[in-house]
Each structure stands twice: as C-alpha cells, then as structure tokens.
Copies of this chain bind each other. A is one copy, B any other.
Amino acid sequence: MRFSKSVPWSGPILDITQVINQSPELDEILEKSAKLMARTGYHGASMRDLARVTGRSLSGLYHYFQGKEDLLYLINQSGFSSLLNMVDELEAAAMGPSEKLHNLICNHIGYFADHLDEMRVIVFGTQDLTSKRSRKISNLKENYRKKVQVIVGNYITDKKGYPPDTSELERKTFLLFGMMNWIFSWYSSGDHGPAQDLAEDIFNTFTRGCAGN
C-alpha cells in the first residue's frame, strides 16, 4: 500500500518512472480521455464528458484516480516513458550512427502514429499540472531530447568527419523534432500512407539536409 490513509485501492502508482498501469480499466480510461482531450484540450473536457465517453458515472471515475489532473499526468508520463524506453534500447544496440538515427526516427514516428491522440494532448503542454509534476514531465522530455541529440550528433560527426558545434546541433535536433512531431496536426494513416513511409521520408530529408556545412 502506498498511502497511509486507507483508500479503496489507492489508485495508480503515480510516482514511478516506469509505465506500469496495473489496471486495464485505467488504461482504457486514459485512452478514451486522451481521445476526447485531443479535440477539446484539458480544460475543455469536463469530468462529466469523460464519464460519458468512458461509459461510467461521474463519481465512479474517482475510483481509478484521485483527480482530473492525474489523467493529464499519466498520459504525459506514459508517452515520454515509452519514448525513453525505446531510445534506451537503441542506445545500447550495436549499430552504426546512420542506422541508429534511422531506427530512432522509425520508432518515434511509429509510436506517434499509434498514439496520435495521446501525443496531441502532450503537445498541448503541462501547464495545467502542479509545478512539481510539470517539472517531472519536463525532465522526462528533456532527457529524451538530449538522447536524441546525441544520436543526431553522432550521425553528423560520422558523416562530416568532425563534430558540429553545440548550437548548430541543438538547432538541427529541433528541426528534426519539428518534422516528426508536427504530424500531430495533419497525419492520418488513411490519407497519407503508412507511418514507415513517412519515417523514411523524414530520414531522407533530414540526412540530406545535414549534408552541407
């Protein structure tokens, strides 16, 4: 038990870094909530709306989490933890810099395309979380960004024979994130083909874009 005061079953373990949502019901609630919040934003989706789309009663929802804000926190944490897990595996893998960058982009785009609604919620930001939680999510995000930046840096170093200066590397990494993350606003697999084709296009565009000085 995590909470000294006895609570029915004390909700999800909110302080853990890993993605262990030990309840399929909560997972379903998170997914359907993200689907709604992706359209309306966090404040735009009321608890009554969330009760309706999850097929539950208003008060019944509170059995799975302690407050509305938990939903936003869990959606963000789940997303960034998954991305971090993927890049951690990639870090350890035996691969050339180019292949690593290619895999990174495929993983990122693949996850994004599979969790478009959650990613849309994440793009809207963490302003509505308590500052402590907002900082926690920001740390996850910054960790991920730095690991991606290392992979991009290794690629450029390998390609050009010398490392890029930090501000150029940082900027290029942000441009890559731009191409990848902006798909939240336009991509659907039905209209624009499979995610892997898109990942391929981004990889080609970015690597060729890094070609010159």
* Interface residues in chain A, defined as those with a beta carbon under 8 Å from any beta carbon in chain B: 39-44, 123-125, 127-128, 167, 170-172, 174-175, 177-183, 185-187, 192-193, 198, 201-202, 204-206, 208-212
Complex CA gap A44/B128 in Å reads: 8
Q: What residues on B are CB-neighbors of A175 within 8 Å?
A: 179, 182, 201-202, 205
- Min C-beta distance of A155 to chain B, whole Å: 14
18 A-B pairs with C-beta separation under 8 A? A39-B127, A40-B127, A41-B43, A42-B43, A43-B43, A44-B128, A167-B193, A171-B201, A172-B201, A174-B186, A174-B187, A177-B186, A178-B180, A178-B183, A182-B182, A204-B212, A205-B209, A208-B211
Kindly identify which residue among B44, B171, B187 contacts A198, using a CB–CB cutoff of 8 Å: B171
* Given pairs A171-B201, A178-B182, 5 additional interface contacts (CB within 8 A): A123-B123, A172-B205, A174-B187, A178-B183, A208-B212
Q: Does the CB pair A124–B124 fall under 8 Å?
A: yes
As for how many copies of this chain the complex holds, the number is 2
Chain A, interface SS category:
helix
Q: What residues on B are CB-neighbors of A181 within 8 Å?
A: 178, 182, 185
- Min C-beta distance of A212 to chain B, whole Å: 6
- Min C-beta distance of A43 to chain B, whole Å: 3
Ordered nearest first, which 5 A-B pairs have the shortest CB separation? Answer: A178-B182, A43-B43, A205-B209, A209-B209, A178-B179
Q: Does the CB pair A127–B174 fall under 8 Å?
A: no
Interface-central residue, A123, A170, A208, by most chain B CB under 10 Å: A208
Indicate whether A192 sits within 8 Å of B171 (C-beta atoms), given known contacts A204-B212, A209-B206, A210-B205: yes
- Min C-beta distance of A80 to chain B, whole Å: 14
